[in-house]
Chains A and B, each alone.
Chain A
């Protein structure tokens, strides 16, 4: 059961990071086009700025969610390394619960944010404002799922990601 979850979350985290990377590449193209349009064609695209801002919310949320599974978020470990193993275990558990709670909150209230702004329009893009926020509840749900997996594994006593630091491969 846990293995199945773990397999799923692993795939999911990879997918999120790849989608986020695609978002960055797309954003590069959009801003490049913005410069080209203004300088070469003498016609600035009016949609480019808003489009890249929406992309940025999406890919930051996605990569940040993946970061919960891969454990690459910036945190202060000084106290954790100073206390006895048993206490360290407890601290890690609380800290996963806090992250999981943040994920649930992001899913619920991020979802409410999407619903309440669904009728608003993003100027010069013509899309719903709610769409810009849609990445939040999705990422929130996955953050909750990823931290649930980490809580399980913390309770079983094995480390979640035993690969080399996953950020740098």
Chain B
């Protein structure tokens, strides 16, 4: 029976894969996908804590519901910004989006 540590390590693996993609990828849509992977990894950790530490209180599952809602809002707003950026500058490459670079 896989315990809490296995689930937490899986969550860490997924989180670091998402972090690597979010730091390194040049396509903004792929960066958004990697942020989603990171949020999913946190959700796994939340639900695992809920299952193994407080099995009858469901606190971690409530937090996972909130994270899912925030992720949905984030994707809707992020895609709107990406589409506006593409209409404005004709690219979704992060090396060319340097408007706020000092």
Chain A bound to chain B: no
